[in-house]
Chain A
């Protein structure tokens, strides 16, 4: 059987490795637009910061692909998918498949504001982006978008010695991860080294050949570099044109087996629309871990082994100026329509909040201390009732066998 994977990101590589683990004979072909071997996008800010060398971000070597018997054709984009002929077309070649795994991922968006085409505009997605940014020798940087990528990029460049302004259109930083209060606390920590402007939108960038000034409604910021971290777009063109169903959020629609609307065609990673583990509503997960888990499911089902995706549950940990911050599950904004109980605790150095719906923990945000939050994360993922955890923790016989509950007590004991 010949299985073709489109995409060489977290999802594509995880799919390939899992296919080989389960089947030593099948033919595996990987196609990708870019020519890099597998790399971790998540580690790129660490390279920008100067903490790790670029080569550490690469995950597989030539030998690994050879050992896994993965045939590669990198550096050429797939332009067309033909479902009836079961083939893919690049500019040069036609690739036939028996089964197909689409792992085309996502791409950072650069909004069409005047000046966004000047030299000095960048995104952070590939090793090439990092090389280009460093070669540009940035000194005064505006990072647009304060999601986790924007925040990490801003901190990283600050660590390099740049003067950094972080511009966010919404009223707070990391609005998809944190609620108002923890977001404000993190902003305060960031502001020790970075200028943070919330509720501002970049309207224009002026300069001659190079960037000179970044304009928002309220501010003119001198800068030589702009980094766009203002969201991503799913790479779904070939799927859409082939007639695969696309969801309401713009991702390729899949079932719990990660199969698309066409039998034998699977999809996983940033390009798909999956569902959130608690609400069961469609979501674009856009996380490394979801991409990997979805790829495992796709690979197994592709070979006829049953496996079901259990839903996405986000977990993002950030080092903000040396202070660990974590956000998991959903925040209040994402929980609109539910009756949410918020438990919070704060002292000089630490803050946490737990979001509960009825007897379930659905979100958790913490600053300063992350130890033991694995128990909370597990409860969020599994939907463990809090009352059950309390029952176990009072039972001398049960505790040793369900020891993972123990850490939750330090967070749950503060409520009633």
Chain B
């Protein structure tokens, strides 16, 4: 393991739904990066639209600590990376049964219909394109502690949260 990998331990993608406009760029970037095809249905990030609330909520694998997908996988191919805590899978073993998808509260595991295997967000080796490509800064890639800090501040004032997000059109922190 190289030092760069060590340095990004436990970083995860956090969502600021308030900022999401539902443009779908994250999905296109994800799908083209992961499958070579340009289609939101192939993305590992979904946008749940809630028009009544004027809200778009990006949803993707949360890398839970006791993931139900792991238990419900009949091929035992889902595992927690001992170093990063990420929920990863040995995709070559997958039989495409979709039990993991349904065991997930978010259905954040998605079928890759081209390879007929189910996949989840793997945080792109530490450089998630959805995050860097989001023009609104609705996706944040950071450590748990940092996110907790931001959330506490956000609870005090939503305005403060908004002001804190980068203005250069790129979500990088």
| Of B93-101, B128-136, B141-149, B162-170, the one with at least 4 CB within 8 A of chain A | B93-101
Show 20 A/B contacts (Cβ-Cβ < 8 Å), sorted by A.
A46-B95, A52-B95, A59-B76, A288-B72, A289-B99, A371-B107, A372-B107, A374-B101, A374-B106, A374-B107, A377-B102, A378-B68, A394-B52, A394-B53, A396-B54, A400-B18, A403-B57, A403-B59, A403-B106, A406-B59
Pair A40/B71 contact, Cβ less than 8 Å: no
Q: Which residue of A lies closest to B16 (CB)?
A: A400
Mark each residue of chain B from 1 to 29: 1 if its CB lies under 8 Å from any CB of chain A, else 0: 00000000000000111100000000000
User: Which residues in window 141-194 of A have CB below 8 A to B?
Assistant: none
User: Which residues in window 75-116 of B have CB below 8 A to A?
Assistant: 75-76, 93, 95, 97-99, 101-107
Pair B95/A399 contact, Cβ less than 8 Å: no
- Interface assignment of A315: CB less than 8 Å from any CB of chain B: yes
Pair A406/B99 contact, Cβ less than 8 Å: no
Known A-B contacts A399-B50, A403-B57; A328 and B71 likewise in contact (beta carbons under 8 Å): no
Separation of A377 and B101 alpha carbons in the complex (Å): 11
Pair A403/B48 contact, Cβ less than 8 Å: yes
User: Which residues in window 1-51 of A have CB below 8 A to B?
Assistant: 13-14, 38, 40, 42-43, 46, 51
Pair A328/B102 contact, Cβ less than 8 Å: yes
Pair A407/B107 contact, Cβ less than 8 Å: yes
Separation of A37 and B95 alpha carbons in the complex (Å): 19
- Interface assignment of B124: CB less than 8 Å from any CB of chain A: no
**Chain A residues, Cβ within 8 Å of B98:** 317, 324, 370
- Interface assignment of A375: CB less than 8 Å from any CB of chain B: yes
Pair A317/B107 contact, Cβ less than 8 Å: no
- Interface assignment of A404: CB less than 8 Å from any CB of chain B: yes
**Chain A residues, Cβ within 8 Å of B68:** 378
Mark each residue of chain B from 47 to 80: 1 if its CB lies under 8 Å from any CB of chain A, else 0: 0101011110101000000001001101110000
Given contacts A43-B74, A51-B95, A315-B102, 6 further A-B contacts (CB under 8 A): A59-B76, A292-B76, A328-B102, A370-B102, A372-B107, A407-B48
Interface of B is mostly: mixed
**Chain A residues, Cβ within 8 Å of B104:** 374
Top 5 closest pairs, chain A to chain B, by CB: A404-B105, A42-B74, A400-B17, A378-B105, A374-B107
Separation of A390 and B91 alpha carbons in the complex (Å): 36
Which one of A14, A40, A59, A406 contacts B50 once the chains associate, using CB atoms below 8 Å? A406
Mark each residue of chain A from 391 to 416: 1 if its CB lies under 8 Å from any CB of chain B, else 0: 00110100110011011000000000
Which one of B16, B18, B54, B105 contacts A374 once the chains associate, using CB atoms below 8 Å? B105
B46 to chain A minimum Cβ distance, whole angstroms, is 9
Interface centre among A46, A393, A407 (most CB of B within 10 A): A407
